[in-house]
Every structure is written in structure tokens, then in C-alpha cells.
Structure 1
Amino acid sequence: MRTHTWHAHARTALVGCTALALGLTGTLTHAHAHAQPHSRDLGRETLPAGDGWGSEGTGTTGGAAAGAAQVHTVTTWAGFKDALKAGGDAPKIVKVRGIIDPAAEGCAAFEAPGYDFDAYLEKYSPENWGLDTDLSGEPADSPEGLRAASAAGQDRAIKVEIPANTTVVGVGKGAGIRGASLQIKGVDNVILRNLTIEAPLDCFPQWDPTDTDTGAWNSEYDAVVVHGSTHVWIDHNTLTDGRYPDSTLPEYFGRTYQQHDGLLDIVRGADHVTVSWNAVEDHSKTMLIGNSDGAGATDAGKLKVTLHHNRFEDVGERAPRVRFGQVDAYNNHYVVTGEQPYGYTFGIGASSQLYASDNAFSLPAGVSAARILKKWSEAPLTAENNYVNGRKTDLIAVHNAEIPAETLRSGAGWKPVLRTKVDRPRAVPGIVGARAGAGKVR
């Protein structure tokens, strides 16, 4: 069986993690229920009162009330999954030590018998297949059928569901999860803290000849997805494409071989979420809040999310793109260096009510502040006291002056009250730079 050389390269890089994974012995151990005197136990900490939408109502406590039998330290993917299942929805704390990686053996570990990427490229090239017919009717033994079977194998291997009343926390400064898709789905009361999370690399993207006029590659797997869940706190993590930023991905059929989907998506009626003090880096389709214009029956009145003191660096778009939700974005620092393609920061989508204030933006020469906002649908927003390269800037006025065909309306129709300290925007780059991301909890 032949495998394309880029796949071989990706497998080689991924296998490089195997030695580290194997060096971390043990799978699941019980830890003491309480921290030692005078030491800090991040697993016992809860979202402070008034700290964003996640503090609404019952607040977010995760597994802080866990008994001794439901505090686990894990060093392997198998141990991580076992710990999450243990005790059902009883409060639990899962402490991740070191790096765990369900894809450490590389893409070849997921390939169905007979899968051949070169055969896939040959059969479905625009020259041979055209651009008018999608691949949905292909039989199981076709290159597309074998790709789908391989993709199903990866799906089973890398996805894991986080149960209700759970805190997942990294131990120290070097803890992380690579190549996995963390699903916070249909549950209440979850905390995710102090982890470096590298986005999963889709080994088997699907070619869709009918996507746009020239076709496109489509990938699966969000690094973290909050799907229909409530009271979620995502704090002091580093979320990144890590070893595989989009700028390193190859092209086939003249289109980027897209192997990433969302980095942190909040969708399907999720509600009361606080995202704070995270470093979000090197990703294109970064964060959806609401995934469909037609999801009003599920999403209207929900998707209340607070984003504060996060550092977004070299993210291409969707930081976030909002539909329906009352989203409060304050004291974030958005950095564009030009190393990755940049489209926009805030996407204004169907029935959204974005309130963006007191943020800082660092843009290079040639990138206008007018691009910070992107209009997808008619919806009002509030954008006030934001600073671009150290200067107070009316983001709506700049956008409307330079892009009059996409005029935005001011006035989100609500004002956030669930905020802790609001820092001066000029001070935000220094504050967030020093304190956002994994290993920087104070």
C-alpha cells in the first residue's frame, strides 16, 4: 500500500510523541482528597462569584466537592478515559500529569485495510471526477469509502466526553493533551484548567468537489467543543495548532488540505460559559458561538458567554464568530503578526448581541482596524473603549467608513453586569501577556 509522503511526514512527527507517552507510566491513581496545608489545589477551586456568564445562577464548581475516591491523577489516554467514566456524574477531579496523546502512533494507526491516499487523489482529482458531483454515493470499497472507514477509526480513538460535575486540570506547567477532541456535551458544571491543548489533526479530510466553485477539503474534530452544556469554565489553558499550524499544511487540487476544524466551539444551546485567561494561538477557524443561522429554536435566549483576559495570537478568524448569544468580550488582547493569514476577529452573525469593550488589538502595518469586525448578518453590537496599537478606536465607525457595503449598527441592547475587575485597555497587553495560558495560574 502506498501512502503519500506528507502523511508519512505527519506520522513521523506524531510518533515522536510516543517515547514521551510511554515514559509516563501508570494509568489511573487515586490522590488525596485535599491539598496539603499551605499548598494550592487547583482542582478544588471554583469560578468566583460574578466572574462572567459561567457564574450565573448555580455558578460553576466542577468537581470541587469530589470525595477521595473520585480524585484521580492520570498519565495516559486510557487512564484519562477511565477516570472520566469512574463514578458517573458524581463530582470528580481528574489531574493530568505530563502529555497524553491518543494519536501518538500516527495516522497509520487509524487507516482501514486497503486505504491508499494516492489512489484517492487520482480518482477524485478535478480532471478525473469533475466538480459537479459530491462523493456521497461512493461504495465502501472505493477510495472514498475507505477514507470514511479510516476517519471513523480516528473518531472513535480521539474523542472523549467530559461528564457533569467534573474538573479536568493540568498538574504543574507541563501538562497537556495532544490530538484529542474534548467533548463537553449535554452536561452541567464542568471546569477545564491549566492544560496545553494541541488541536487534533484530521488524518482523513474529505474532498468535496461541490464546495465553492473550485472544491474544498473539509475536516472534522474541534479541540474543545461545548455542545448543549451549561455552567462551563475554561481557564488558563493554551489552545493551539502547535506542531501543525495551517501555514504548514500542503495543497492538493489547488486547495489547502485542511486538517483542522474549530479550536473552541460553543454550540447547540450551550449556555452560561466563562472563558478566561487562555492563550489561543496559531489557528484559523478559532471559535464559533452558535453554529447555524437556522438554529434559533435551540439557541435563542442561550449562548451567553463571557470572554475575558484571553490572548489571541495569529488566529485567522472567529475570535469569536457569534450567532444568537449575548457574548461579553472584554480585556482580551488580539495580536496579529502576519505569520498566519488574518481575516477578521469578531464575526457578527444571525441575531447576535456582542458586547466588546476594553480590549486591546496589536495590528501590523497593512492590516486596517476596519477588518476587526466582519458582518455576516444584520445584528447590532456594542464596541466601546477598545484600543488599537495603543490608540482608542471606534471599531464600528472605522469599519463602516472603510467597508460601507457592510454597515454595522451600534447598540447590543444589553449591558454586562457579571464582570470582575476591568483593566485599562492600554495595560491589557502586559497583564494578559504575563498571566494568560497554561502554567500561569496565580
Structure 2
Amino acid sequence: MRRTSARLKLGGAVAVVTAAATVGGLTAWSGNAAEAEPQTLAVGSPEGYGAGTTGGAGGDVVQVSSEDALVSALETDGPLQIEVTGTIALSDAVDVTSDKTLIGSGTSGVISGATLNVSEADNVIIQNLTFRDSDDDGINVEYSTNVWIDHNDVTGASDGGIDIKRASDNITVSWNHMYDQDKNMLLGHDDDNGSEDSGRLHVSYHHNWFDGTNQRNPRVRFGNPVHVYNNYYDSVGSYGVASTQEAGVLVEGNFFENTEDPFHLGEGDSPGGSLVARDNEFSNSGEGEQGGSVSNPSYGYDLDPASEIPGIVTAGAGVGTI
């Protein structure tokens, strides 16, 4: 019901606005504030460590369909809501500044070719977009706080699908469909970066569909606690979750199917962190490795029964399901 209600709110917000001007490929919209209230393109609201992220809510709404228009919008000072229509092929990485909502229109919004880089930013929402065939990461988050990455499709990045690192904090990664991806989600880029990362890298990963992704779902350094809950691991290749280098990961209420190594301690040259697993379901999968202690998350949340996760997540994750 929450997702249905949110979808209607998005449709209403778009319906009441009226085009004001088109400059440089950027279409700005305005409308009756009373009719459009609440003025937000984002659907729903984040739970977990990214709760409270509002993105560009209250700012102008613009539509973009070209690289130049997207860059111009993302570099704008102050809150802005940016709706992507069609496929935008990037020639280079594009930076996102603070107080931005970036959302795909229907199922048409696609960003390809290079990285969406959330760097030194606060309060960013990325929702309902397809990221494909990046020459590096699909989405990179560094030195940034209060970020919500939700209901996206991510595939074919040459490096990480969604990587989070370098002192970033208070982030939720939810309802994304990840597929045809090797190095999927890295949290913390280096064992020697404790001076920046210790006490930070608090991330909630929930209701994501790891669809044949090979590794790093996620691989975690330093973040403690990191909450990995109600995700669907579907035929994951090398491993699901790895807790390394002073990390503490709570793996809770997930469904692992055809996944030989659901979770373990240590990875490569990185020493093991702590990992606590509870209330997970396993189908044709290994039991995983856990050890140490992990604090409970500092927020309230509703946990879906793990047995129901395959149906819930495949019906609700990715582009076009909000």
C-alpha cells in the first residue's frame, strides 16, 4: 500500500506542473504549490541509516535528456529535482552536488557509459534509473552523507556497481536490481583508510535483488554496524557478504538461493571483521561463516519474513516498480 500511494503522489506532482522555459536542454517547471504539495519527485521515504534524506524536495523540477543538461542540473547550487527522460550517454564521470533528487521518468531513464559520482555532497536521492555499461563504477559515493539509492537497475559496470567509501556515512541502498555484475557493492575501499573511515560507513542495504552478481554483496571494511537485511541472493557466484578489516555486519532476514558461500569473514588480503547472521533462509546454499559481535542498528525497522523475500523483492525491486 505504501508503494501504491507513493506512486500516485509522484504522478500528481508531475501532473500539476506547467512548463515555464527551456534553456540549454534544461526544462524548468512551475505550478500551484498548494496543488503540488508535497512537492517531491522522490517516491516514498528511506528507512535505515539514510532516513531523513530529502534530496531536492522543495526545489524546482527540471527534465533533462542530454549530457550537457544533466551536468548543468547536477552542478546547480541549492535543492533541485531532476527527472531523466530517455538515455543519456556520458562521456565522462558526472558529479552530483548537495540537495539533489535524480529520478528516472517511468522506465525510460537510463545513464550509461560513465560513473555518477556523489562526492563531497550531502542529502542526495537517486531513484528509478537504469545504470549500465559504465567504464568504471556505476554509482560512486565518497566523502558524502545522507544518501538514498533506491529502485534502480545496475548492470555491466566495468568496476563496482554501487561503491561507497572515503568517510561517507548515513546511507541507505534499497530495492535495487543488480545483475550481470561482477564486483557489485564495495563499502570501504582500502584496509589502510581507517583514519577516515573508522566510526563512519554506516549503511543499510535492504530489499535488493542480487541477481547472479558474483561478489561484494557487499564487501565491507570499517563500517560498524552495517545492516544487510531482507535482500534476495539469487544464484550469487563467488560469495555474498564479506566482513573484513574492523567491520561489523548484521546479516538479517535475507533469502539465499543457489548461493554456495552466503557470507564469510575476511577476503583477499583483508583480515576478518565481525559478522552476526540471524533469521536468514537458505535454499540449495551454504550456511555461511560468522563470528564476533555486532551492535544492533540505531534505528527501528520492520523485518519481512525471510521465506517471503523472493516474492517480495522480485516484485518490488528495480526500475518501474515504485
TM-score, shorter chain, exceeding 0.5: yes
Does the Cα contact within 8 Å between 2:241 and 2:263 map onto a contact in 1?
Answer: yes
**Other-structure match for 2:152:** 237
Structure with the largest fraction of strand: 2
Structure with the largest fraction of helix: 1
**Other-structure match for 1:399:** none
Q: CA deviation at 1:85?
A: 2.2
Q: What residue ranges of structure 1 are gaps of 5+ in the alignment?
A: 1-25, 103-156, 202-220, 242-258, 397-407
Question: What do residues 175-202 of structure 1 show as CA deviations (whole Å, max 9, x unaligned)?
Answer: 111112100001110000010111313x
Q: How does 1:164-175 map to 2 (within 5 A)?
A: 164-175=98-109
**Other-structure match for 1:360:** 255
Q: How does 1:18-417 map to 2 (within 5 A)?
A: 27-32=25-30, 43-45=41-43, 47-48=45-46, 51-55=47-51, 59-66=52-59, 70-86=60-76, 88=77, 90-102=78-90, 157-201=91-135, 221-241=136-156, 260-325=158-223, 326-336=225-235, 342-363=237-258, 368=260, 370=261, 372-376=263-267, 377-389=271-283, 395-396=288-289, 408-412=290-294, 414-417=295-298
Q: CA deviation at 1:419?
A: 4.2
2:28 corresponds to which letter in structure 1? H
Does the Cα contact within 8 Å between 1:386 and 1:394 map onto a contact in 2?
Answer: no
2:199 corresponds to which letter in structure 1? G
Q: What residue ranges of structure 2 are gaps of 5+ in the alignment?
A: 1-23
2:70 corresponds to which letter in structure 1? F
Compared CA separation, residues 289 and 235, structure 1 to 2 (3 A):
same
TM-score by length of 1: 0.63
Does the Cα contact within 8 Å between 1:280 and 1:313 map onto a contact in 2?
Answer: yes
Compared CA separation, residues 35 and 100, structure 1 to 2 (3 A):
farther
Question: What do residues 273-293 of structure 1 show as CA deviations (whole Å, max 9, x unaligned)?
Answer: 001111111111111100000
Instruction: Tell me the number of residue pairs that the alignment of Structure 1 and Structure 2 aligns.
Output: 296
CA–CA distance in 2 between the matches of 1:199 and 1:306? 25
Does the Cα contact within 8 Å between 2:42 and 2:127 map onto a contact in 1?
Answer: no
1:189 corresponds to which letter in structure 2? N
1:427 to 280, 283, 308: 308
Q: CA deviation at 1:52?
A: 0.4
2:234 corresponds to which letter in structure 1? V
Q: Cα RMSD over matched residues?
A: 2.4
TM-score by length of 2: 0.85
Question: What do residues 66-88 of structure 1 show as CA deviations (whole Å, max 9, x unaligned)?
Answer: 0xxx32100111111111223x2
